[in-house]
Amino acid sequence: MNILVTGGNGYKGSVLIPKLLEKGHHVTSIDINWFGEYLLPHKNLKVFKKDIREIKLEDLKGIETIIHLANIANDPLVELEPQLSWEVNVLASQQLAEKAVKSGGVKNFIFASSGSVYGISDKEKVTEETDLLPISEYNKTKMVAERIFLSYKDSMNIFCIRPATVCGVSPRMRLDVSVNVLTYSALSKGIITVFGGDQIRPNIHIDDICDLYIFFIDNYKRLESGFYNAGFENISIMDIAKYVKEILPNTIINVTPSNDPRSYRQCSDKILKLGFMPKKNVKIAIQEIIKEFKNNKLNTNETCFSVKWLKKSFK
């Protein structure tokens, strides 16, 4: 299959694309490369450095499936440039969907939304039918983009995936998401600072979310357009810190107040009933990060801290 991945050099993209190539797909990557280039040359891979706002109809020639990962990701990044975030996360996404329909060849559109669209919920199980209560600009851009994409479901299959917080090792490493940052802090400083700690957050290993995107490609003929949760471990921030300490027992855990109220338990029974099964978990992600770090293979450069890097780049 001919697949376009936007954000191909990103945290998820740089893990997903090698998996797609290994399965024999032909892949086109489009990414502005704010955080570097991580894709290795391959006979079935085309790489273009391009802002998704500049994608043209001819860029979609021959494309059958689009996996749309590119966005201004998470709350702190969106707060840097809110207007830019709406342009990229919403307007450019709508334009991409429109071009996908006009191309005549795109059968499937897989959108990487976010489980954070649920905001705060005290429900025991937050399903795809739960009301959305986005509490940040980032959450709102994802919610609006979902609605835009679903309006095209009569023209192509639309799969809006709502991932939990992703964790684990990637060539374009992120050291500013919960599991990764707590593990790296323990490794580099011997100390973990937990903000609050009682907030419950769903998590998913990076290999599992990438395998889930591939699951939709492999099974698109039997799957319905719509929303799909993707989070398999609902645990508190404090529990994550304790997992790290189990493996690195000399770690000191400091607790400080937090002004981040987001807390919810994501239920992914819908995708599990369709036959997808996760293979990894948070503890495995922690172990893999520690192993890469100790082998001097973990990417820990400035680009791994997204907000700090973009503040520096935008100057």
- pLDDT tens digits, one per residue of 229-256: 999 999 999 999 999 999 999 999 999 8
Q: What pLDDT score was predicted for residue 148?
A: 96
Q: Coil, strand, or helix at residue 108? A: strand
Q: How far apart, in whole angstroms, are the C-alpha atoms of residue 285 and residue 293?
A: 12
CATH of the domain at 164: 3.40.50.720
* Average per-residue pLDDT for the chain: 93
More confident residue, 121 or 314: 121
Compute CA distances 289 → 80, 299, 309, whole Å. Answer: 28, 10, 21
Cβ–Cβ < 8 Å for 19, 40: no
Q: What pLDDT score was predicted for residue 108?
A: 98
Q: Is the pLDDT of residue 258 over 80?
A: no
Q: How far apart, in whole angstroms, are the C-alpha atoms of residue 70 and residue 82?
A: 16
Enclosing domain of residue 235: 2-314
* Closest by Cα among 209, 166, 169, 210 to 187: 169
In the chain, the number of structural domains is 1
This prediction has a pTM of 0.94
The model's confidence at residue 84, banded by pLDDT at 50, 70 and 90, is: confident
Q: How far apart, in whole angstroms, are the C-alpha atoms of residue 181 and residue 190?
A: 12
